[in-house]
A and B are shown apart, each in its own frame.
Chain A
C-alpha cells in the first residue's frame, strides 16, 4: 500500500510487528465489477470495472494477474495486479463460469457450461490448446495437487468426471447427489470433496478407487432441509478443517477433516456461495450474494469478526499470496 501511495517509491516502515496485508478480489456478478479488499483494514480499497457477468476469479500462480471469467462476454479478462486494470483477455470458449490453473501456472482449465466442454488454455500464449467433452452442464473444477487429474462436475447428470490431463481423456466417473457445484482436493491428494447443492451433502471421494467413501450431512435446527444448499468448499493445508458454504442457509459449516462431522455452523450473510482463506490461514472470507457483502471469519476462534459491503451479487473471491 505504501508503494502505491508514494508513487512507486517504497519506504521501509519503522520496524514493528505488522499484520500481513493481503488483497482479496471479489467478483460482483450483477454489478460487473471487482471489489478489492485490504485484509488489514478490512475495507474495499478499489473497485474495478470489468465485463458482463463476472463469476469465476483467481490469481495466476505468478501473482501477476487476476483472471476473471466474464460469462456474458464469452471471455476471461486479465487484470494486471500492479495497475488493477484489465489489460488482456483469454479465449475461454463460450459462457465461462469456473476455471482452475494447473500447478505449473502455465495452463488454465475452463468449464464451458453451455457447450458441455472443458477448454484448455495456454496462458502465456493466450491460446486455446484443446477441449475435453464432458457431461451436461459442467461447472465445478478441481485439480489433483500433482496436476495429473482434472476433476469436473456435471450439474445435470450429477457426475464427477476424472480427466487424465496428459491424455485429456475421461478415465472415471463417480455419481454423487443432485446438482454437484464444487470440487476440492485436500492438499495431500488423499480426498476429493464434492458439494451437491440440491442433494444437500458433500461427498468425500477416494481419488484412487473412484468411489464415495462417506458423505458429510448438514442439519440446522429450525431450518428446512431444502434451504441447506452446499456450494463452495475450502480445506486448510493440513487437511484437518474444511469449510462448506451453505447458500440460503446463510451459514458456513466448519467440518472436522478426519471424522467428517460438522463442528460448528457460523451465520454469515445471505446466500453464501464461495470462500477463500488468507495465505496464513488466519482468516476465511465468504461471499454473500444476496446481502451484497463479504464476511470475515477468524479461523482460530471460529467467529465472524467483520462484514464488508461490496458490489451487487458477490460471487467469487481470490486472495493474493503475499
Chain B
C-alpha cells in the first residue's frame, strides 16, 4: 500500500560537489581560454557596461530567445572599421557576453544545488515518516487515524519529490545550453573581427 522504495536524490558521482544533482559533470565556471583566442579582456572587464551600444547588444545576444542566425548578423553589423577597430569592439563585446553569461550560468547552478539540498531534506523526512509509519502499523491495536495522517503525508511528499526530480533533470541542461551559446557567440565575434 505504501511506497517502500526510498528515494535517492543525486548521482553524487563527484565527491568535490556533493550537492550537485546533475548527471553532467559540474564545471564551476567557463574560463576565457575555453572560448576565446582573441585579445585579452582584463582591461575592459569593468568598462564594457559604460558603452550603451555594447550593453544593449550584450543583452540582445545573451537572450536565448534571439536566434543564433540573427545574433551572428548583429555581430557582423556591429564589428565595422579597420582591423584594430574591429579587434577592439570585438574584445569589449566579448567581455560583456562573457561576464553576463557566466553569471547567468552561476545563478542556475546555485539554484540547482539549493534545490538538490531541499530534495535531500525532503528525502530524509520521507524516510523518517515511513519508519514511524511502520512502527505505528506494528502496534496493537493500531491508531488508524494517525496512520492515515502519516500515510497521506508520505504520499504527498513523495509526489513533490518526484516532480522536483524531473524539474532538476531539465534544469541540468541549462548550464550546458548557456555554455554552448557563449562558445557560438564568441566564435562569431572572432570570425567577424577577422574578416
Out of A224, A227, A267, A307, name the residue touching B37 (CB < 8 Å). Answer: A267
Q: Does B184 contact A (CB under 8 A)?
A: yes
Alpha-carbon separation in the docked complex, A220 to B179 (Å): 19
Are the C-beta atoms of B187 and A307 separated by less than 8 Å? yes
Interface membership of chain B positions 117-148, coded 1 if the CB is closer than 8 angstroms to chain A and 0 otherwise: 00000000000000000000000000000000
B27-35, B43-51, B79-87, B158-166 - interface stretch = B27-35
Interface hits, B159-195 → A, CB 8 Å: 176, 179-180, 183-184, 187, 190
Kindly identify which residue among B33, B176, B179, B187 contacts A223, using a CB–CB cutoff of 8 Å: B33
CA distance A307 to B33 in the complex (A): 19
Query: Do residues B183 and A221 form an inter-chain contact, with CB atoms below 8 A?
Result: no
A144 at the interface (CB under 8 A from B): no
Could you tell me the dominant secondary structure of chain B's interface residues? helix
For chain A, residues 107 to 124, give those with C-beta under 8 angstroms from any C-beta of chain B: none
Question: When the two chains form their complex, are residues A222 and B33 in contact, meaning their CB atoms are under 8 A apart?
Answer: yes
**Contact of A290 with B180 in the complex, beta carbons under 8 Å:** yes
**In the complex the two chains form, is A291's CB within 8 Å of B33's CB?**
no
In the complex, the answer to whether B33 meets A221 with C-beta atoms within 8 Å is: yes
A222 to B31, Cβ gap below 8 A? yes
Cα–Cα, bound, A249→B187 (Å): 14
Contact A227 B31 (CB under 8 A): yes
Interface residue A189 (Cβ < 8 Å from any Cβ of B): no
Inter-subunit contact A222/B32 (CB<8 Å) = yes
The distance from the CB of B22 to the nearest CB of chain A, in whole angstroms, is 15
State which of A224, A290, A307 has its C-beta within 8 Å of the C-beta of B31.
A224
* Most B CB within 10 A of own CB, among A220, A269, A270: A270
List residues of chain A with CB within 8 A of the CB of B190.
267
Determine if B176 and A290 form an interchain contact, defined as CB atoms under 8 angstroms apart: yes
By a CB distance below 8 angstroms, the chain A residues around B32 are: 222
B33 lies within 8 A of A270 (CB):
no
Contacts of A248 in B (CB 8 A): 27, 34
- A contact residues around B27 at 8 Å (CB): 248
Q: Is A278's CB within 8 Å of the partner chain B?
A: no
Contact of A291 among B31, B36, B37, B183 (CB under 8 A): B183
Interface string of A204-229 (1 = CB under 8 A from B): 00000000000000001111100100
How far, in whole Å, are A269 and B33 apart by their CA atoms in the complex? 13
A227 to B179, CA, bound (A): 14
Asked whether A250 is an interface residue with its Cβ less than 8 Å from the other chain, the reply is: yes
Q: List 8 A-B contacts (CB under 8 A).
A: A220-B33, A227-B31, A267-B35, A269-B187, A290-B176, A290-B180, A290-B183, A291-B184
Residues of B that sit less than 8 Å from A by CB: 27, 31-37, 176, 179-180, 183-184, 187, 190
